């Protein structure tokens, strides 16, 4: 099938395609990948797939589907949706799980057995000029509907995607539009498909150095926490640094169609998503945000006041609600760039150099 010479030419002529048939669920190995910033990969990486419209159905079949996790939620208790017909922001809840099979195959569910190592809220603005990837520490001590207070990653363990969405919506006041979960095995595959990534780290002499990493090296980089001065919070920033690096590498040459196609196929195979996040939906997002660059994506960690100890002795993260709540309100009201421009204290944004 002949591909256009430039992706931009094809994007400008793109039209929605008919609905695609659902894919079959497939069992997956254990692990997680914090790297699939669903929106970033959809918005920036997915543009490479648009060169092959005839393959949309086959691409969609590569994605593991999650039965609608929103169906059981009480609409009256959820944050209000955007007004009908108005340009709307998009919010995607992305989990890095230690067991994707639990999300894609309800029959394999084991209560209390599946936890998430990474929780990320990806926000794309209505005007498609900015985006943010906000990491919520997995040990944040929060109310979980029906279970009292617990670590936020327990919500996935107790009730799967639906309870995780409900917990995050109740905590943040942000309406979740889509849900995605991925695993650790995908981390190395995505990185190696791109030929590795580059992450800037300290050089030990007060400066910095760009370090090239293979998939395995990137995996080890993001797993480390005990040697980091900021422990788990430092690991969150390393995860974010990988996300930024892989998006940067994936979009370094948007006209390298073969590379982008290989990357997209690997990305699609690595993720389970809600049934409404189809290839057509991804394509529409890619077209609407075609001018968004990597520099327009802000990576930050939800404000926290430090660590604590629960009544039953668990080590927890204490969210700083005085800073957390205004931040999430800015996300919910789609005015995050203006809010961050005010340089509020206590917002931990990803720097150019990562410890």
List, in order of start, the domains of the chain with CATH numbers: 26-138+151-306+320-349 (3.40.630.190)
pLDDT tens-digit series, residues 144-164: 999 999 999 999 888 888 999
For the chain, give the percent of residues with pLDDT over 70: 72
Looking at per-residue pLDDT, the higher value among 208 and 250 belongs to 208
pLDDT of residue 181: 84
Residues 66/104, Cβ–Cβ less than 8 Å: yes
Which among 289, 302, 355, 306 has a CA at the least distance from the CA of 329? 302
Average pLDDT (170-185) is 88
pLDDT of residue 229: 63
Q: How far apart are CA 74 and CA 164, in angstroms?
A: 14
Q: What pTM was estimated for this model as a whole?
A: 0.81
What secondary structure does DSSP assign to 22-62, as a single string?
Answer: PPPP----B---TT--HHHHHHTGGGGGGG-GGGHHHHHHT
The DSSP element (H or E) to which 282 belongs, if any, is helix 279-288
Which among 122, 123, 68, 74 has a CA at the least distance from the CA of 95? 122
Confidence of residue 30 (pLDDT cuts 50, 70, 90): very low
Q: How far apart are CA 9 and CA 195, in angstroms?
A: 27
Residues 246/190, Cβ–Cβ less than 8 Å: yes
Looking at per-residue pLDDT, the higher value among 77 and 25 belongs to 77
Cβ burial of 279 (10 Å; 0-12, 13-18, 19+) is: buried
């Amino acid at each position: 099938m002949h591909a256009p010479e430039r992706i931009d030419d094809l994007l400008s002529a793109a039209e929605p395609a008919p609905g695609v048939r659902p894919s079959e669920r497939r069992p997956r190995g254990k692990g997680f990948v914090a790297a699939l910033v669903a929106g970033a990969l959809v918005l920036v990486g997915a543009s490479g797939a648009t060169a092959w419209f005839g393959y949309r159905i086959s691409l969609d079949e590569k994605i593991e589907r999650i039965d609608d996790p929103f169906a059981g939620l009480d609409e009256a208790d959820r944050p209000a949706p955007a007004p009908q017909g108005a340009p709307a922001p998009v919010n995607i809840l992305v989990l890095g799980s230690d067991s994707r099979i639990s999300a894609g195959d309800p029959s394999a569910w084991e209560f209390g057995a599946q936890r998430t190592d990474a929780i990320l809220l990806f926000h794309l603005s209505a005007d498609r000029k900015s985006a943010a990837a906000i990491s919520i520490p997995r040990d944040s001590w929060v109310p979980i509907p029906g279970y009292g207070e617990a670590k936020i990653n327990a919500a996935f363990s107790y009730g799967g995607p639906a309870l995780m969405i409900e917990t995050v919506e109740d905590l943040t006041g942000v309406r979740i539009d889509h849900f995605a979960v991925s695993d650790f095995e995908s981390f190395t595959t995505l990185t190696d498909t791109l030929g590795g990534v580059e992450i800037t780290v300290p050089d030990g002499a007060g400066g910095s150095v760009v370090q090239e990493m293979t998939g395995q090296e990137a995996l080890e980089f993001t797993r480390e926490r005990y040697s980091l001065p900021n422990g788990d919070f430092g690991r969150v920033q390393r995860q974010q640094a990988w996300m930024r690096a892989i998006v940067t590498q994936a979009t370094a040459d948007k006209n390298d169609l073969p590379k982008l196609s290989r990357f997209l196929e690997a990305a699609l195979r690595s993720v389970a998503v809600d049934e409404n996040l189809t290839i057509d939906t991804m394509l529409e997002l890619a077209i609407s945000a075609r001018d968004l660059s990597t520099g327009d994506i802000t990576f930050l960690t939800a404000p926290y006041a430090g660590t604590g100890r629960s009544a039953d002795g668990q080590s927890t993260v204490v969210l700083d609600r005085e800073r957390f709540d205004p931040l999430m309100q800015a996300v919910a009201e789609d005015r995050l760039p203006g809010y961050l421009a005010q340089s509020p204290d206590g917002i931990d944004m990803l720097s150019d150099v990562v410890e």
